Amino acid sequence: MKQFWRAVAVLALMVNFSCAHADDTAKLRQTIEKNLPGVKIGAIKKLPYKAMYQVVGNGINVFYTDASGNVGFFGKLIDLKHKKNLTDEEAQKIRVVDFASLPLKDAFVRVKGNGKRKLAIFSDPDCPFCQRLEQELQHVDNVTIYTFLYPLSIHPDSHRKAGQIWCAKDRAKAWDDWMLERKALPSGEAKCKTPIKEIAALAQKLWITGTPGLIFENGKLVPGVPQQNQLKVMLDKSADKQVASSSN
């Protein structure tokens, strides 16, 4: 009987702690949302480091705050003892997309070499980082690239250019001509139906807020421009993981 009541007492303490923690997190969320208007706050997790909390913002960004929610740290949290980048580890967990669910019909396709590896890119024709990525891709072989045209509002003419590229007879050639050689696109608005609006909605759903946004076959979402060697390693790892999962 004593053991029974001890168990009840422990359970009551656990419930009380859980409720108190949930209440603290709810208050913290309210404060952060007030301090960061426009940022959608996701999961909040108490870390085992003093009064530090981990926060996910806008679906894919990891940052940190204290119990007050009035100060924030936006950077890399490193476990010095075990030499681990805790921020990158968490980001890799949450930045995952189901590659098979992507509407590939809304992308134009380029096949390099045997096309064995797969890569999807959300890209803007007036984005300088996207142009740099295309330069890097010139040195990558044996990959099928699906490019989703995602013109950003910060580039006033990119929507028109994206339309012209989609409506071109050879979309891949029109893209390469513009991005790599800066050959002029036709003037005026595109005269065909484009999936640009649907792609923008998809990008927002996936929390791709900038370009380029890369999605590998294993679902890993990478913002920005990986260097050539990093890109090759990521493609190899992604392809290897897909082969392993399909053979199980």
Q: What is the pLDDT of residues 187-223, one digit of tens each?
A: 888 889 999 999 999 998 888 989 999 999 999 999 8
Chain segment 100-154, per-residue pLDDT in tens:
999 999 999 999 999 999 999 999 999 999 999 999 999 999 999 999 999 999 9
Q: What percent of the chain has pLDDT over 70?
A: 88
- Inter-residue contact 142 to 178 (CB < 8 Å): no
Of 50-54, 159-163, 213-217, which range is least confident? 50-54
Q: What is the mean pLDDT of residues 170-186?
A: 94
pLDDT at position 11: 38
Give the mean pLDDT of the chain: 86
- Inter-residue contact 125 to 158 (CB < 8 Å): yes
Of 22-31, 39-48, 185-194, 203-212, which range is least confident? 22-31
pTM above 0.85, yes or no: no
Listing DSSP states for 4-19 in one string gives HHHHHHHHHHHHHHHH
Q: Which of 48, 78, 42, 80 is nearest to 61 (CA)?
A: 42
- Inter-residue contact 92 to 210 (CB < 8 Å): no
pLDDT at position 22: 53
